């Protein structure tokens, strides 16, 4: 695969600050931060109970069980103090990636269409999953078109559902970020694993790219490209150089 963006320098990348929100019950927050670091950026940990985004250039809502997934997965987190800032920032164009529980939070917040419900087979499911990347976004620019990758999927409530009209619109507008290939692990509608907003900046993905960033611990290093993609887009937009 070739990277479409001109390669920014390491210093440019290191100047890009990517916030990772910790909610009570967030679990993959340290992993998301590690992925940002391995991609060359600077992770900034953000706390759910504040209104302070710390001037970050992008935000990641990590996996986990925010607020114990009580009520509905992601429902309580979507009303937390930090989320009002994330929603405002997203509307101003700050890129946001929601992974797993973070995807649930984005749907509950109304930033992305649809909802994530209990897996069709009712079990938590953890497996190395093949995905096809279908949309070019700020978070997926480094992938070749139609790239197939392997990253872990692990969730109990990962079944993507939406009204048929919404699904049709998402597909027609090219907003399917990724689809499950070689088996749908949770019964998601139309094998959808992730979606993007129309701008390509607000992105939700059920599988976990942050767990596929090192040969040693992941099934591949395919996930790293989500993080290099966002750093490159932000440097391209002047984020790294500006700071």
Partner 1 sequence: MKIDTVKAAAQSPDHQQPYAALGLSSDEYHSIRDILGRRPTSAELAMYSVMWSEHCSYKSSKVHLRQFSDLPHSERLMVGIGENAGVVDIGDGYAVTFKAESHNHPSYVEPYQGAATGVGGIVRDILTMGARPIAVMDPLRFGPADAADTARVLPGVVAGVGGYGNCLGLPNIGGELVFDECYAGNPLVNVLCVGVMRHEDIKLARAPGPGNAVIIFGSRTGPDGIGGASILASETFDEEKPTKRPSVQVGDPFTEKLLIECCLEIFAAGLVVGIQDFGAAGLSCATTELASAGAGGMHVVLDEVPLRDQTMTCEEILMSESQERMCAIVEPDKVAAFLAICAKWEVLAAVIGTVNVSGRLTVEWRGEQIVDVPPRTVAHDGPVYERPLARPPDQDDLQANDPDRLARPASPYELRDTVLRMMSHPNLADKSWVTEQYDSYVRGNTVLSQPEDSGVLRIDEQTHRGIALSTDGNGRFGRLDPYAGAQLAVAEAYRNVAAAGATPIAITDCLNFGSPEQPGVMWQFSEAIHGIADACRGLGLPVTGGNVSFYNQTRNAAIHPTPVIGVLGVIDDVRLRLRHGFGRVAGEEIALLGDTRSEFGGSQWAGIVHGHLGGLPPTVDLAAEARLAGVLVRAAEQGWLTAAHDVSDGGLAATLTESVLRYGIGAQIGLPGDPFVALFSESAGRILVAGLSNGLAALEAACVETGVPITRLGTVGGEELTIEGVTTIPLGELRTAWTETLPGLFGAVTPP
Catalytic residue flag (residue 121) = no
Q: Binding to partner 1 by residue 165, rule CB under 8 A?
A: no
Q: Which of 85, 134, 157, 208 is catalytic?
A: 208
Contact status, residue 186 vs residue 130, Cβ threshold 8 Å:
no
Q: Is the dihedral of CA 45, 51, 54, 58 positive or negative?
A: positive
Q: Should residue 130 be labelled a site residue for partner 1 when binding is judged by CB under 8 A?
A: no
Tokens of 183: 């088996």
The only residue of 51, 124, 173, 243 in contact with partner 1, by rule CB under 8 A: 124
Segments in the chain forming alpha helices (H):
10-14, 29-39, 81-92, 101-108, 164-172, 224-236, 239-242
Q: Could you say whether residue 121 binds partner 1 (CB under 8 A)?
A: yes
φ, ψ of residue 85 to 5 degrees: the values are -75, -40
In sequence order, the β-bridge partners of residue 179 are: 132, 192
Is residue 208 within 8 A of residue 223, CB to CB? The reply is yes
Residues 140-159 that bind partner 1 (CB under 8 A): 152, 154, 156
State yes or no: is 100 an active-site residue: yes
> Which of 85, 100, 107, 134 does the annotation list as catalytic?
100
Tokens standing for residue 242: 């500006």
Q: Which of 119, 140, 196, 233 contacts partner 1 by CB under 8 A?
A: 119
56-75 positions binding partner 1, by CB under 8 A: 63-65, 67-70
Decide if residue 181 touches partner 1 (CB under 8 A): no
CB contact set of 185 (below 8 Å; sequence gap of 6+):
119, 125, 127, 129, 153, 158
| Shortest Å distance, C-beta 74 to partner 1 | 14
Query: Binding pattern to partner 1, positions 83-102, x when CB under 8 A?
Result: --------------------
Nearer to partner 1, 25 or 236 (CB): 25
42 CB neighbour count, 10 Å cutoff:
18
Beta carbon nearer to partner 1, 32 or 94: 32
Site for partner 1 in 16-45 (CB under 8 A): 24-25, 27-28, 30-31, 34
Residues recognised as catalytic: 100, 208, 210
């Amino acid at each position: 695969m070739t990277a479409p963006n001109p390669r920014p320098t390491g210093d440019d990348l290191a100047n890009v600050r990517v916030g990772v929100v910790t909610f009570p019950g967030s679990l993959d927050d340290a992993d998301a931060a590690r992925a940002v670091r391995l991609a060359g950026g600077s992770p900034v940990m953000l706390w759910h109970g504040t209104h302070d985004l710390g001037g970050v250039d992008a935000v990641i809502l990590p996996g986990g069980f925010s607020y114990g997934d009580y009520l509905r997965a992601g429902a309580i987190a979507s009303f937390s103090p930090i989320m009002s800032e994330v929603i405002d920032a997203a509307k101003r164009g700050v890129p946001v990636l929601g992974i797993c529980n973070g995807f649930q939070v984005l749907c509950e917040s109304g930033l992305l269409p649809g909802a994530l419900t209990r897996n069709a087979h009712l079990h938590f499911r953890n497996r190395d999953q093949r995905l096809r990347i279908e949309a070019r976004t700020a978070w997926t620019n480094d992938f070749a078109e139609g790239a197939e990758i392997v990253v872990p999927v692990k969730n109990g409530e990962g079944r993507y559902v939406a009204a048929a009209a919404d699904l049709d619109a998402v597909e027609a507008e090219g907003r399917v970020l990724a689809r499950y290939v070689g088996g749908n692990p949770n019964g998601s509608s139309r094998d959808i694993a992730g979606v993007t907003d129309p701008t390509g900046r607000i992105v939700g993905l059920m599988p976990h790219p942050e767990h596929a960033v090192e040969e040693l611990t992941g099934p591949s290093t395919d996930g790293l490209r989500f993080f290099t993609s966002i750093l490159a887009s932000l440097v391209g937009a002047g984020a790294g150089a500006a700071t």
